[in-house]
Amino acid sequence: MGIVEKFSTGASVRRLEDERFVTGQGQYTDDVNIDGQVYMVVVRSPFAHAIIKSINTDDVKDADGVLGVYTGADFVAAGGANKMPYAIVGQESAKPDRTILADGRVRFAGEPVAIIVAETQAQAEEASELIDVDYDILDAVTDIESAIAPDAPLVHDDAPGNIAFRWRGQGDDAQMEQILSEAETVVEMRLENNRVIVVAMEPRAAVAHMDGDKLTVITSTQGGWALKDRLSACLGLEKENVRVVTPDVGGGFGMKAFTYPEQYLAPFAAIQLGRPVKWLAGRGESMLSDNMGRDHISNAKLALDKDHRITGIDIHSYAGMGAYFSQFAQGIPTMLQEKILPGVYDIPASRFRVDGVFTNSTQIDAYRGAGRPEGIYLLERLMDVAAKHVGMDPIEFRSLNFIRPEQMPYKTAVGLTYDVGEFEKLMRAALVKADYDGLAKRQAASAAKGLRRDMGLCYYVECTLGAPHEDSTFTFNPTGQLEVTVGTQSNGQGHETVYAQVVHEQTGVPIEDIVIVQGDTDRIKNGGGTGGSRSLIAQAIAMRAAARALIEKAQDHAAEKLECAPEDLSFDDGAFRVSGTDISLDLKTLAGGLPQGTLDVEAGHDDYTSTFPNGCHIAEVEVDEETGVVTLENYVVVDDFGLLYNPLVVQGQVHGGIVQGLGQALMERTVYDETGQLLTGSFMDYTVPRADTISDIDFTHMGVKSLNNEMGIKGCGEAGTVGACAAVMNAIQRALDPLDVGFVDMPATPDRLWRQIRAAS
Amino acid sequence: MTQISMTVNGKAVSADVEDRTLLVSFIREHLGLTGTHVGCETSQCGACTVHVDGQAMKSCSMLAVMAQGAEITTIEGLAPSADTLHPVQEAFREHHGLQCGFCTPGMIMSAADMIRRYEGKLDEKTIREQLEGNLCRCTGYHNIVKAIEAAAETMAQSGETQTASA
């Protein structure tokens, strides 16, 4: 329908997946129904901390339609390994078990205690009212400061003081103490990074069924290969007898990157009952049990010399873990956050220490950016605090301390090497876009209305991450289409379109004949999944290698068809060409004349290297000190993502990322009461951005090609979220500084700001 | 159980349903029209929006029996024909007004109704206010607003605003 103007790199090709989405033909997990399917509900602990004295399921078993009810003991008795995996990163760490179903004690409200399977969803829900669990309620602790207070109730007996782990990154104590003692100025800041609920619009779900010895699990993931391996281990199945299929996914944002108890329990029930089993989380259930994000309290010091140049950064963070370690919970506030802590500044030394903290709350894990938004938020708030402390304009303070293009490649204090970056240039461009020169005039106009107006800036750098390996196979199918398998997993980013652009550019195969195949562990043997803004970089390298292999393999066949020597052929502009003639042969035509499978190729690589997307966010706000209401008046972002394949898709990622960041900064607040009940457990209570939260985002791209991959791309999926929080909070802080309100933490809700303004006056 | 009859996407349907069956469950489970989504349980997210007798309605907020005799249009029935998209569907694709696509059917059904109610005379501010009942976590809304603005203009020009949700 006239959507493809120019189908090559750098073209804003309209998305190929959209036709199915706009017509209701998308297929998400809950849209899958299998004949004979039955329904699973999870009975969850209503208490944040309790001993389970007994579980009586007699009445449940007698209820209408009930086929099975299983506790942790039943799961183990049937041979299930009742244990969730997690990685240890801390040099010292508690090692508590996280079970799939509770084992005698529950530690957060929402922890799975039993499952019930019935013929219908309604019957399963009704039966769940009949389970009799005798709880002995214990004192709970739900926030970091209460958890580390003396005499706080212990979440785990083997984690004294509720310290879950202690980690220290690079940096030498003696050196840092010397830097701090010799500094002209040491600026200190305490900041909170508020806990957020991820809120993918599609709730988590799974449909599991057995066919003979073979288990198939259809479930919403960011890559199903880890689940496949773990299901095999957990349920005692051969790996080749486990297939994980990920259909369309309605948003992941890091939250769907890891396995969840229900992804083991639905397959378990399907095996026990010999029936297909469907499980779908309600929104309240999602809010209780989806991994949450952030939840840090940090104390930071910035050392400056007499010229206001930074000589060192020293940070200690407490990082909330929730009640258990989720799969990569330890890695995010530590290794991942540390990567970007020096930001874009020439900082010669750093020290970074993190203490993980258990609380009686839902576990924390990756949320869009995972560690890097937290790190940049901290650093960029600290930059403004320091500039104010020494009486410098925050723009000039940043400018003074930027790593300059001529210093590239630049090895940071935490050991990463930035390849390229033109920070000063991008910041100046953003300031022009944001009309910094006109700010005073706009402030005066706002003041005339009784409003405080100001501008805040954040210069972020991202470090893209993920599994180094990725594969791709190319197969011409019997209808002449080129099927391309990938090990990444679109959660809405538009991979089908952008990957097709890459393959088309390399092979000349028409766009309508390229089929991107994702999300099936039977068809794709390995996959690194999607996360860390890695997908296009990791997958494009593999697809380009496969394209080269295809052309190499096809050359002899093409020569035979064209009755020339292979060395007389060149491949350019999408076809083999006989030199000195106008004779050509494209790959699709060639494949059509060869036996099926002749041109099949496979290629993989271990070459994924981190890249460093960066850019400048500027937010302009009006604050009404009478009501605490913040209005976002303007938002400008200038990004450097290297080379772009599809600017339209990139712009969409930037918009969405920024609005998620603004949500955390302005409205998203996760509240537990003192007994550990989640008070923000629905959309009635937990605020996410709506269409009227912002008016416009002015996005400009000024790419500097990355040297860390053959394409020159940098990745853009998380960048918006990394930069947004600090920009808007710096703006609010500057607007309120004349009122001496002290440091303003997120979320800057009207209620919280109003109280802070009142307390100051 | 109650016997209900209604017209869905131009076809007469009837079925025996439990009285407590929500309209959205009837659409998804009985009729197999899975383009209408369930994203919350408190009628906040709008992913389940359909047209009931020409008006946008969150199909999780009414019982199937309440739609007795009604004319229902779901996302599957919005396009005028199998090979032509509705202007709102076309605009969402053209302006990259969707990412994961989960909220999209509800957004499009709300937008079509909004354009009808305002007879195509919509500015950005009104669209943003009127989208209060539809949540999206991917796009940041900006391209959704642009898509609705563009669709409203297209439909106003072609005189389609009177029949936007017929």
CATH number of domain containing B23: 3.10.20.30
Q: How far apart are CA A398 and CA B55, in angstroms?
A: 54
Residues 58-117 of chain B whose Cβ lies under 8 A from any Cβ of chain A: 74-76, 78-79, 85, 89-90, 92-94, 96, 98-105, 108
pLDDT at A510 over 50: yes
Q: Do B34 and A249 touch (CB under 8 A)?
A: no
Q: What is the Cα–Cα distance from A669 to A193, expressed in whole angstroms?
A: 10
Q: If pLDDT is split at 50, 70 and 90, which confidence band does B163 have? A: low
pLDDT over 70 at A760, yes or no: yes
Q: Specify if B15 maps to a domain.
A: yes
Name all contacts of A407-410 with Cβ < 8 Å and 24+ positions apart: A407/A346, A409/A707, A410/A346
Position B165 scores a pLDDT of 46
Nearest-neighbour CA in chain B from A104: distance (Å): 31
Q: Give yes or no for A416 touching B (CB within 8 A).
A: no
| pLDDT (tens digit per residue) in B101-159 | 999 999 999 999 999 999 999 999 999 999 999 999 999 999 999 999 999 999 999 98
Of B77, B110, B143, which marks where a domain is finished?
B77
Instruction: Please check whether residues B112 and B55 belong to one and the same domain.
Output: no
Q: What is the DSSP string of A241-291?
A: GEEEE--B-S--TTTTSS--HHHHHHHHHHHHHTS-EEEE--HHHHHHHS-
Using DSSP's 3-state secondary structure scheme, residue A397 falls into: helix
* pLDDT for residue B162 is more than 80: no
- What is the average pLDDT score of chain B? 95
R_g of chain A computed on alpha carbons: 27
ipTM over cut 0.90: yes
In a domain, B46, yes or no: yes
Of A200, A655, A695, the CB nearest to B143: A655
Quick one: CA dihedral B83, B89, B92, B97, positive or negative?
A: negative
Is the CB of A652 less than 8 angstroms away from the CB of B90?
no
Helices (H) and strands (E) counted in chain B, each on its own, are 5, 5
B132 inside 8 A of chain A by CB: yes
Boundary of a domain, candidates B77, B97, B128: B77
Residue with the bigger pLDDT between B40 and B161: it is B40
Q: Which residue has the tokens 């957004």?
A: B107
Length of chain A: 761
Chain B contacts in chain A segment 29-48 (CB below 8 A): 30-31, 33
| Bridge partners, A279 (sequence order) | A206
pLDDT at A305 over 80: yes
**B19 and chain A in contact, CB less than 8 A:** no
Q: Sheet with A584-586: list strands edge to edge.
A: A569-572, A575-578, A584-586
Q: How many CA atoms lie within 13 A of A297 on its CB side?
A: 9
* Together in a domain, B73 and B12: yes
Domain hosting B134: range is 87-163
Number of domains in chain B: 2
* Judgement on whether residues B68 and B118 belong to the same structural domain of the protein: no
Angstrom distance (rounded) from CA A406 to CA A409:
8
Contact at CB, B100 and A201, closer than 8 angstroms: yes
Domain contains B150 = yes
Q: Check B94 against A494: CB less than 8 A apart.
A: no
User: What is this structure's pTM?
Assistant: 0.97
Report which residue type is found at A227: L
pLDDT band per the 50, 70, 90 thresholds, residue A10: confident
**A120, closest residue in chain B (CA to CA):** B29
Residue B166 has pLDDT above 90, yes or no: no
Q: Is A203 on the interface with B (CB under 8 A)?
A: yes
Whether residues B35 and A25 touch (CB distance < 8 A) is answered with yes
B67 and B101 assigned to the same domain: no
Q: Return the closest-CA partner of residue A87 out of A225, A258, A337, A237.
A: A258
Nearest by CB to A682, from B42, B74, B108: name it. B42
pLDDT digits (tens, 9 = 90+) for A250-291: 999 999 999 999 999 999 999 999 999 999 999 999 999 999
Do residues A484 and A473 lie in contact, with contact meaning Cβ atoms separated by under 8 Å? yes
Within A156-212, strands assigned E span: 163-168, 185-193, 205-211
Residue A273 tokens, joined: 């009952």
| DSSP strand pairing (A569-572 vs A575-578) | antiparallel
Identify whether B82 is part of a domain.
no
What CATH number is attached to the domain comprising B129?
Answer: 1.10.150.120
Q: Do B96 and A658 touch (CB under 8 A)?
A: no
> Is A693 a residue whose pLDDT tops 90?
no
Q: Are residues B50 and B10 in the same domain?
A: yes
pLDDT higher than 90, residue A5: no
Determine, for residues B101 and A491 on separate chains, whether the beta-carbon distance falls below 8 Å: no
Indicate yes or no: CB of A492 within 8 angstroms of CB of B101. Answer: yes
Cα separation of the two ends of chain A = 61
The reported pLDDT for the residue numbered B114 is 98
CB A156, CB A72: distance < 8 Å: no
Band of residue A8 on the pLDDT scale cut at 50, 70, 90: low
Same domain, yes or no, for B119 and B158? yes
Residue at B41 is within a domain: yes
Residue pLDDT, tens place only, A616-667: 999 999 999 999 999 999 999 999 999 999 999 999 999 999 999 999 999 9
Report the residue count for chain B. Answer: 166
Structure tokens at A673: 């009461």
- Pick the last residue of a domain from B28, B59, B77: B77
User: How many other C-beta atoms can be found within 10 angstroms of the C-beta atom of residue A190?
Assistant: 10
Does any CB of chain A come closer than 8 Å to the CB of residue B11?
no
Residue B7 belongs to a domain: yes
CA dihedral of residues A31, A32, A33, A38 (deg, nearest 10): -90
DSSP annotation string for A184-195 = SEEEEEEEEE--
- Which domains, and CATH codes, for chain A? 32-138+202-250+256-289 (3.90.1170.50), 369-465+610-760 (3.30.365.10), 468-605 (3.30.365.10)
In chain A, pLDDT over 90 holds for what percent of residues?
97
Domain shared by B73 and B103, yes or no: no
Q: What is the pLDDT of residues A356-383, one digit of tens each?
A: 999 999 999 999 999 999 999 999 999 9
Q: ∠A379-A385-A391 over CA atoms, to 5°? A: 135
B73 and B100 in a common domain: no
| Residues B16 and B62 grouped into a single domain | yes
Residue among B74, B127, B131 minimizing CB distance to A24? B74
Same domain, B95 and B141: yes
Shortest distance, CA B121 to any CA of chain A (angstroms): 18
- A135-147 confidence digits (pLDDT tens): 999 999 999 999 9
B157 in contact with chain A, both atoms CB, cutoff 8 A = no
The reply to whether B112 falls in a domain is: yes
- How close is the nearest chain A Cα to the Cα of B71, in Å? 19
Type of residue at A450: G
Residues of B in contact with A724 (CB under 8 A): none
Per-residue confidence at A2, pLDDT binned at 50, 70, 90?
A: very low
> How many angstroms separate the CA atoms of A616 and A428, rounded?
9
B95 and B46 in one domain?
no
Say yes or no: B43 and B104 in one domain: no
Q: Is the pLDDT of residue A176 over 50?
A: yes
